[in-house]
Chain A
């Protein structure tokens, strides 16, 4: 064995570090360290035994060097995260830090990582996780955007109209749907740059070759770059509109038929395998619940369910949220007591099969509760109720975990994305971030 040739010595802000080319290679081409290599990953500018001076913070350098060596991030308590993130940005290692900070999402291993307190009054309507670990929170007429470091960006407003729903189209684009203000012809749906809050595009609705103003409600996105939104037009043009994300043009509109509700929908969900859109209008927005599946190619409602004709039972159960589970060919619904129910998707007009699991919650309902919400992530079903989120797994939806935080009121909305779970609390304007810790060392 000879002498090691790939050693390199750094002098960072006066502290000497020694490492190897292999370790630095882990930083990738697109980083400060990548620029020290030539095309064949041989070290450039390596004057023998001469140290390489960098005028930066040595403490952070130590943490980042450790990250490159082990792919594991350990931030000592004396180093503020913000400082570390800034240094990582200098070296071009932000992506490394982010991917090492938390592990792949698993509903049963989540731990609370932080709570962020916002400025706005406690009137949160929606929270949506971004694809890279950031999130957007809608409060009244404002949308606050946080990146993965939970740094807040300039807020977005659509001329101070009430925001109904938000959704991320990519890491830098947010679609916001808003109400129409009385007396004005604005409202509708717009695409914003998440980092700057600028309006990039406004989506129009055309009826009979005329651009009409409208109020946009729930949003959904399909993998082939379509945007769906429930729409309410001025002259009763109710229904679901479809736009192309790339061109921004409206490509379809499914009009609501009499006696059924589409334009008021609380929830839209694109089902890629069935090539259908689930549209759910729920109590108390309407007196009854309407759940339907639309096939846009055939311009047809291929499946529908409603509780109009359902007999009124002793303990009245009203569907408060619905989510389609394509694997098990069913739609999962939840009522105000957090009872889960299932409707078979394979035939129209079936009834709800309630699971009697959660009776134990009864009787200790807080005075002012939020409606339960459902979410699905890689086969795990999440349901929020009051101040906690339940996790259900497996084909029979067995309750496996509960996420609860002691204060902040009940959860009014939550969202999963970028390997994180965000929960928005109703009383104080706080949202919680839940993460899966990095995998164990061995």
Chain B
């Protein structure tokens, strides 16, 4: 046997894993790479989707995902570089179009590549934490194309140039613009913002800064606002056409800042066309425009409001302090109402009924109405005038409107109690003289006052109405009972007024003529017979009388006079001549009233039923009076008015004021006691604020007066000062 062959045993390593041949992977990738080239070259129709999908699947399945992915990045980058240079080569205006076309091509190609590589997108990419194919395509486009040095600035400049062109009236291709901005947005909001929006806003700011300068030099306020509004709308429209919706707030902000905010002051105060001029000229459209534009900037409305308020205050102050105007209270109040109407209309039609503007208007009115201490009296006089004569032939609704307006002015008054005082006087006169036009209107106003100020404010006014009604019934009863015994003496009509409800003062009764006196006595007996425990006083200063008189040549007239005048005239039944002293002695009428009544009987042309010697305007103590035989009048009825100042004279006014002040004292004291009863201990300043708060619906109490009232209450031992802290008051139960 030959020597055994030497066997060399070679142990091969056991193949644990089946690894696909890398060459095979290379081949597969080449097919896919070729396909990507073909797709970018618009030759995709010859490719088999199934084959490519399967190849990509196989590569991922056999762990060549990494190779596939990096290959994709390299191939796509290669094509994008090519695209980039072809875009760079585009001349002038074709640049954007070329960019747009290539972007569309890239998107289409990207979609196809993604379809082919779908399996990799689903399985390999998430587990390897790579960027998905679609996003990768966008990122590469951004980095290779948009951020290439030659394209980035050119793109921005082109876009800004086009927008600038459109601003100056050129027509640009908006569709193209939209596609390009949409591309920037697709690449991520940061690309849109950094590569376009930021510079767009900056250049817009520059543009509008210059333009606004130009406008403000050449235009008046209204025109400027029109231009600003148009620019603003243009920008909003631009955003809706081809920019990102989020840019709207930013660009409008720029326009607002440059066109409005930086010129706000100048616009409002512009000479001959600023805010005041617009208000004076009732330019609702301009005002509305100003409002809607200024509302967009931070302090815009505050500015308008401040200027408007100071203008209202100024004009209002002029009105209420103009001595000429004050001569006619009705006209004065009518003017106030006109001003209010004017601003209501401005706020309603131009300032979209802005609450803050309404408040500003109200506070302005409150400010200047109360500058004139006679405003309460005038407002009451206005009502008096309207209710006496002004409401004839006016429909019920219009009456309501007028009354509502008056109530609005009433609300502005701080001294509502003064108004009440005057209103009471005027209402009393209206009721007693039977001059009131419409009972309904009177009552409706009282209801309004009641809702505004509460029950106690109007309880006395309502009492006056009740008295009128009761008096009517009483008179009917009187005549039914004693009518038969009266014969053909004078007819008496009595109005029984409750003390306290009416603005009456104790007065010395004048000497009534005997004819009247007897029937008065009968009425007194009748009234006290039906109502025991009451006291009747004759208010001879408030009555009226109708007299029948016969003059020379048998002329008969009926004279409508006041009670005082009646007393004087009746004296002339027995004699033709009386001196002032004689009359004064016989009638016992207070001197001032007597003078006034003689004046109206002897000195008014056409109504001079008496003759005075010497002839003069004023009544002197030494004057003598004669029955005027030669009196003629073409009317049968002659109304002899008393010479009464409709407005209160200065001393009367003082008197009313004083009475109001007196009335306020108990109210202030009551308020202090109410507050202290609840709080027990309180310091001075807090009492003053609380009292003011409680009483402000009626009047604005003066702190000095409050202090005096507190002192008075301390004296009367309602309150005491704290022993330790002198500022504190204590309530003494």
B380 to chain A, nearest CB (A): 60
**Chain A CB within 8 A of B50 CB:** yes
B46 to chain A, nearest CB (A): 11
Tell me if A30 counts as interface (CB < 8 A to partner B): yes
A90-B57, A195-B127 known; A36 and B122 CB under 8 Å? Answer: no
Report the minimum CB–CB distance from B31 to chain A (whole Å). Answer: 14
Q: How far is the CA of A30 from the CA of B117 in the complex (A)?
A: 11
B118 within 8 A of A: yes
Residues of A within 8 A of B118 (CB): 30-32, 35, 92
A32 in contact with B127 given A90-B119, A92-B118, A92-B122 (CB within 8 Å) = no
B49 CB-CB contact with A under 8 Å: yes
| Residues of B with C-beta under 8 A to A34 | 115
> For residue A53, which residues in chain B have a CB less than 8 angstroms away from its CB?
50
Is B49 within 8 A of A35, CB to CB?
Answer: yes
Contact in complex: A52, B50 (CB < 8 Å):
yes
Q: How many whole Å from A339's CB to the nearest CB in chain B?
A: 47
* Contact (Cβ within 8 A) A45 B49: yes
In the bound complex, do residue A35 and residue B115 qualify as a contact, i.e. CB atoms below 8 Å apart? Answer: yes
Q: Is B572 an interface residue (CB 8 A)?
A: no
Report B-chain residues with C-beta under 8 Å of the C-beta of A55: 50, 54
Interface status of B538 (Cβ within 8 A of chain A): no
CA distance A54 to B49 in the complex (A): 10
B127: chain A residues at CB < 8 Å are 195-196
Q: With an 8 A cutoff between CB atoms, is A89 at the interface?
A: yes
For A27-42 the 0/1 string (1 means CB < 8 A from B) is: 0001110111000000
Cβ contacts B34-76/A at 8 Å (1 or 0 each): 0000000000000001100110010000000000000000000
Bound CA span A52–B127, Å: 31
Q: Is B518 an interface residue (CB 8 A)?
A: no
Question: From residue A277, how far is it (CB to closest CB) to chain B in Å?
Answer: 33
- CB within 8 Å of B: which A1-59 residues: 30-32, 34-36, 45, 52-55
B119–A92 touching, CB < 8 Å: yes
Knowing that A31-B118, A35-B118 are A-B contacts, what are 8 other residue pairs whose CB atoms are under 8 Å apart, sorted by A's residue number? A35-B53, A53-B50, A54-B54, A89-B122, A90-B57, A90-B119, A92-B119, A195-B126
The answer to whether the Cβ of B123 comes within 8 Å of any Cβ in the partner chain is yes
Q: Which residues of B contact A92 (CB under 8 A)?
A: 118-119, 122
Candidate in B50, B118, B127 with the most chain A CB atoms within 10 angstroms: B50
The answer to whether A32 touches B123, judged by C-beta atoms less than 8 angstroms apart, is no
Inter-chain contacts of B116 with A (CB < 8 A): 35
14 A–B contact pairs at CB < 8 A? A32-B53, A32-B118, A34-B115, A35-B53, A35-B116, A52-B50, A53-B50, A54-B50, A55-B50, A55-B54, A90-B119, A172-B126, A195-B126, A196-B127
Interface residues on A, range: 10 to 19
Which 8 residue pairs of A and B lie closest in terms of their CB atoms, listed nearest first? A35-B115, A54-B50, A55-B54, A53-B50, A92-B118, A195-B127, A45-B49, A90-B57
The CA-CA distance from A89 to B118 in the complex, in Å, is: 11
- Give the B-binding residues of A (Cβ under 8 A): 30-32, 34-36, 45, 52-55, 89-90, 92, 172, 195-196
B residues near A31, Cβ cutoff 8 Å: 118
Binding site for A on B (CB under 8 A): 49-50, 53-54, 57, 115-116, 118-119, 122-123, 126-127
Residues from chain A with Cβ under 8 Å of B54 in the complex? 54-55
Bound: A195/B123 CA distance, A: 11
Tell me the minimal C-beta distance from B49 to chain A in angstroms. 6
Q: How distant is A99 from chain B, measured CB to nearest CB, in Å?
A: 16
Bound complex: CA A22 to CA B329 (Å):
89
Query: Which residues of B lie under 8 Å from residue A196 when comparing CB positions?
Result: 127
Residue of A nearest to B58 (CB): A55
Name which residue of chain B comes closest to A29, CB basis.
B115
Does A89 lie within 8 Å of B49, measured CB to CB? Answer: no
Measured CA separation A53–B48 after assembly (Å) = 9
How distant is B59 from chain A, measured CB to nearest CB, in Å? 13
Write the chain B residue with the least CB distance to A54. B50
Distance between Cα atoms of A92 and B118 in the complex (Å): 8
CB distance from B548 to the nearest CB of A (A): 93
Chain A residue at minimal CB-CB distance from B54: A55
Min CB–CB distance A68 → chain B (angstroms): 17
Chain B, Cβ-Cβ closest to A94: B122
**Cross-chain contact A89 with B50 (CB below 8 angstroms):** no
Min CB distance B532 to A, Å, is: 72
Residues of B within 8 A of A52 (CB): 50
CB contact between A36 and one of B49, B119, B123, B126 (< 8 Å): that residue: B49
A35 to B52, CA, bound (A): 12
For the complex, what is the distance from the CA of A34 to the CA of B53, rounded to whole Å? 13
A118 and B705 CA atoms in complex are apart in Å by 97
Minimum Cβ distance to chain A for residue B643 (Å): 81
Collect the chain B residues with CB atoms within 8 Å of residue A54's CB.
50, 54
Report the bound CA distance from A400 to B50 in whole Å: 52
Q: What's the Cα separation between A18 and B126 when bound, in Å? A: 34
Known: A53-B50, A54-B50, A55-B54. A89 touches B115 (CB 8 A): no
A35 proximity list for chain B (CB < 8 A): 49, 53, 115-116, 118
What residues of B have a CB within 8 angstroms of the CB of A90 in the complex?
A: 57, 119
Complex CA distance for A155 and B717, rounded to whole angstroms: 93
- What is the bound-complex CA distance between A34 and B116, given in angstroms? 11
B60 to chain A, nearest CB (A): 10
CA distance A52 to B54 in the complex (A): 13
| Smallest CB separation, B58 vs chain A (Å) | 10
B125 → chain A closest CB, angstroms:
13
Q: Does A89 lie within 8 Å of B123, measured CB to CB?
A: yes
Would you give the shortest CB distance from B681 to chain A, in whole angstroms? Answer: 37
Q: Tell me how far the C-beta of A85 lies from the nearest C-beta in chain B, rounded to whole angstroms.
A: 13
- A52 vs B50: C-alpha distance when bound (angstroms): 8
- What is the CB-to-nearest-CB distance from B613 to chain A, in angstroms, rounded to a whole number? 100
Within the complex, the shortest CB–CB distance from B196 to chain A, in Å, comes to 27
Q: Nearest chain A CB to B107's CB is how many angstroms away?
A: 11
